[in-house]
Structures are given as structure tokens and as C-alpha cells.
């Protein structure tokens, strides 16, 4: 006899019958051991000693994320079974009616990753095992080389190659542009001036020099950081094509993606895009139409590990690789989630690396080990990274607008330049 909807226990309001473990407490922890505010969500349970950690870092609006977690998500989480990861994600995601955006998604990400962390600990397995097991023994990573001129950048790349890195992102100072993204001393005079014409002339010369000096034994990357007009992005992608970049990152801003088919049609330079996206759905047209080669996703900004895992699977079906965003404004917990995705995804392209300082390593014990240009994962259950709250308290968060400083870039005539 077919059960009627009224007889179906799964239609009852949660918590549903099932595991005895329940969520008893949810907290946000802010710390800045490297001078950048990191937001971590800690989900505690009725099982003594069982808790999970998740990255909810949105440096520029950290306090808004804290409010979203504590005022809106916590009341919906208490008493829930932490094993119901998917249902918790779905219910929290729709609870605000107007869905998405980096603040709400970062808050949701912190909870989502923490529940995956708990699930792994309950199973006695690392999260990458829960995703299907590893596709590789370690995760290849790229690091960042910068300099005031091409020769200085080349020296930096050589140093990284000697350490075992096979992929290096390269940025160089642009004459007259104190707002040069990624270059040494950018904006230190407080005037963050950007000169697109000088940039367009400088970058191709940088990569011509690097290939002449370094040959083809190292993969080179470059980040435009959405700082060009669309037609200039097309020009740059064509200009660097002879130098065989591994990828050109974010040549177009999210607002200019209508230009992407034109960019794709005019150059064979591989394109990585999506750092500023805040919804999985933003990627779908790009994946479906094969307009990019790599998705550059800030995992917490799209809602956590659950949607990122689905996105990785969709990309695999269309021959597109992943390159998750991994700078210093992703906490070590967030990096551990990236690595779980990297290990379990056959279509990993490359992973961005942050080398943490000693203070961060003390606050977050269990960070993955770097050796030979790869991150080597932990076999510890869950995400494998913990948080020492006493040490975290020694590094209070920065003032609310401190994370905005580098975004205040203008053209020479005073016009605001999107960062």
C-alpha cells in the first residue's frame, strides 16, 4: 500500500527521527593572525567533544556575516541532526526568500563546512573520502611571484621552481600605477592610481621576458583582476597568446560577461573566471557553452562545500577544470575544504596556494603540509584542521573597513576603478 503524504514521516518538521546527535550550539569566531579578519563558524553537538568548523570569511563585511549567522541561522539550527547536511543547506538557503549574495552565502558556507567536518569525524574519515576518495595523492598548487620589473619577477619564479613549484602566477609593477594589483608596494602611498594603457603595454613585455629567460619548463599564470575595459581584455588575451599562459585569470568583470563569447572567439589563451561570482547559477551558462577553461570559485561566497562539489561535477561533464580561489582571505579551514574538493575531483586544474605565517599555523593546527609544489592532505577525520580559541583571541579582528583599503583604486582622472 502506497503511503499517503500525511503518513510520511519525512514531511514532518525537523528534527526527524534518526540519529541521536543534535546541534546544541553555533558560534562565530573572528581572528586575524596575519592581519586579515577570518570568520570561522563552530557547530557544537550533543555528543561530547564532537564539533565542526567551517569557513565563513568575507573579509570586507565580516560583521555582517557574523550577524547573519547568529541572528538568523542559529535559531534554525539548534536541535537539528548535523547529519542532514543537504536539507540544512537547502532550508537555510531559501529561508531568507531573497536568496544568495556574499554575506548570506558566507554565513551558510560556515555552517555547511562545519557539518561536513562533523560528518567526517562521525565516520572516522577525512571529508575527501566522503566525496568518493582521492583521485591523486597530493594537490598541485601555484604560488605568486611579483616584482618591480620583469627581471625581478623572473628571479622570483626561478626561486619557486627550485622549491619544486611547476606553476607560478606572475604580476609586475606598472609604471605610474601605484594601484598595481599584486605588485610589491602597490598603493603604499595611499593614492592607488591605475593606468590601463600602461598595464596593456607592460604585461606582454613581462611574459616575453619570462619565456625568454625561463623557457617552457614552468607554467605561467596572470591575474587581470577585472581591471580592464572588455575590448582591452580581448587585446590583452591576444597579446599574451604567444607566451602560452596556463591561464589568464578574470579578464572580465561579472558585469561584462556578455563580452565573453567575443573574447573566446578571438584567442586561444586559456581563461579562468569567477572569483567574484556569488551563485553556482552564475557559472552555468559559462560551463554549458564552454566559454571558460577553469572556474575560479571562492567557495564560501557561493555557499560552501555542498554547492562547490556539485559545480565541480557539472564542470567535469563539460571538460572544464577547477581552480578554487585560495588567497589569504580564506581561512585554513576553507583551504582544507578546497583540498578535499581537489583530491576528489578528477577535473582539478590547479589550486591557489597561501603560505601561512607561524601565528596562523598555531591558531589553526592541522594545516596541510606543503612539499614539492604540492599540498599533502591529512588523513585525520573531517576537514583535518582545528582551531585553538585561546591563541585565536590573541589576534583580534581588524577594524570593519580595513579590508576595503585595497579596493579604493581610481584612474588618473579620479574615476573609480573596479578592483
Show the beta-strand stretches assigned E in 293-355: 294-295, 321-322, 351-352
225 has catalytic annotation: yes
The CA-based angle 317-289-86, given to 5 degrees, is 50
Catalytic residue among 209, 222, 225, 374: 225
Contact present, 69 and 63 (Cβ < 8 Å): no
Kindly state the DSSP code that residue 14 receives in the 8-state scheme.
S
| Closest CA relative to residue 389, chosen from 4, 7, 40 | 40
All 3 cell numbers of residue 331? 581561512
Catalytic residue among 51, 144, 167, 181: 181
Inter-CA distances, 396 with 62, 70, 114, 390, 393, Å: 13, 19, 22, 11, 6
| Closest CA relative to residue 246, chosen from 323, 337, 162 | 323
Contact present, 126 and 382 (Cβ < 8 Å): yes
Kindly state the DSSP code that residue 256 receives in the 8-state scheme.
G
Q: Determine phi and psi for 137, rounding to 5 degrees.
A: -80, -25
Contact present, 315 and 321 (Cβ < 8 Å): yes
144 has catalytic annotation: no
All 3 cell numbers of residue 152? 625581478
d(CA 132, CA 97): 33
138 Cα distance to chain centroid: 18
What is the number of alpha carbons within 13 Å of residue 196 lying toward its C-beta?
Answer: 21
98 Cα distance to chain centroid: 23
Neighbouring residues of 81: CB distance < 8 A, sequence distance ≥ 6: 14, 15, 16, 18, 19, 21, 22, 23
Annotated catalytic sites, by residue?
A: 181, 225
Amino acid at each position: 500500500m502506497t503511503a499517503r503524504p500525511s503518513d510520511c514521516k519525512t514531511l514532518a518538521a525537523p528534527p526527524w527521527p534518526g540519529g541521536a546527535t543534535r546541534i546544541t550550539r553555533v558560534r562565530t569566531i573572528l581572528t586575524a593572525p596575519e592581519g586579515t579578519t577570518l570568520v570561522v563558524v563552530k557547530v557544537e553537538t550533543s555528543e561530547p567533544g564532537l564539533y565542526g568548523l567551517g569557513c565563513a570569511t568575507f573579509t570586507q563585511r565580516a560583521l555582517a556575516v557574523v550577524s547573519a549567522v547568529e541572528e538568523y541561522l542559529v535559531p534554525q539550527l539548534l536541535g537539528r541532526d548535523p547529519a542532514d547536511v543537504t536539507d540544512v543547506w537547502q532550508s537555510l538557503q531559501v529561508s531568507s526568500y531573497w536568496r544568495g549574495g556574499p554575506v548570506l552565502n558566507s554565513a551558510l558556507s560556515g555552517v555547511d563546512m562545519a557539518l561536513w567536518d562533523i560528518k567526517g569525524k562521525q565516520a572516522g574519515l577525512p571529508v575527501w573520502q566522503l566525496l568518493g576518495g582521492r583521485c591523486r595523492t597530493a594537490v598541485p598548487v601555484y604560488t605568486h611571484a611579483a616584482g618591480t620589473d620583469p627581471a625581478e619577477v623572473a628571479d622570483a619564479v626561478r626561486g619557486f621552481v627550485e622549491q619544486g613549484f611547476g606553476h607560478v602566477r606572475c604580476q609586475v609593477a606598472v609604471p605610474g600605477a601605484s594601484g598595481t594589483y599584486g605588485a610589491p608596494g602597490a598603493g603604499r602611498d595611499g593614492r592607488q592610481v591605475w593606468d590601463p594603457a600602461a598595464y596593456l603595454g607592460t604585461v606582454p613585455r613581462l611574459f616575453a621576458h619570462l619565456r625568454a629567460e625561463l623557457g617552457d619548463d614552468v607554467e605561467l599564470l596572470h591575474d587581470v583582476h577585472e581591471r580592464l575595459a572588455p575590448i582591452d581584455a580581448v587585446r590583452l588575451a591576444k597579446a599574451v597568446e604567444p607566451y602560452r599562459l596556463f591561464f589568464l585569470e578574470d579578464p572580465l568583470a561579472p558585469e561584462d560577461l556578455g563580452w565573453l563569447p567575443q573574447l573566446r572567439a578571438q584567442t586561444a589563451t586559456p581563461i579562468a573566471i569567477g572569483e567574484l561570482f556569488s551563485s553556482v547559477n552564475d557559472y552555468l551558462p559559462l560551463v554549458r557553452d564552454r566559454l571558460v577553461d577553469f572556474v575560479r570559485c571562492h567557495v564560501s561566497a557561493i555557499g560552501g562545500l555542498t554547492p562547490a562539489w556539485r559545480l565541480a561535477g557539472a564542470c567535469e561533464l563539460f571538460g572544464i577544470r577547477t581552480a578554487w580561489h585560495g588567497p589569504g582571505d580564506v581561512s585554513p579551514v576553507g583551504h582544507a575544504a578546497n583540498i578535499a574538493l581537489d583530491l576528489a575531483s578528477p577535473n582539478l586544474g590547479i589550486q591557489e596556494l597561501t603560505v601561512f605565517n607561524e601565528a596562523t599555523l598555531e591558531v589553526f593546527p592541522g594545516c596541510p603540509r606543503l612539499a614539492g609544489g604540492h599540498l599533502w592532505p591529512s588523513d585525520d577525520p573531517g576537514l583535518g584542521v582545528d582551531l585553538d580559541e585561546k591563541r585565536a583571541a590573541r589576534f583580534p579582528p581588524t577594524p570593519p573597513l580595513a579590508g576595503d583599503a585595497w579596493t579604493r583604486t581610481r584612474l588618473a582622472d579620479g574615476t573609480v576603478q573596479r578592483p
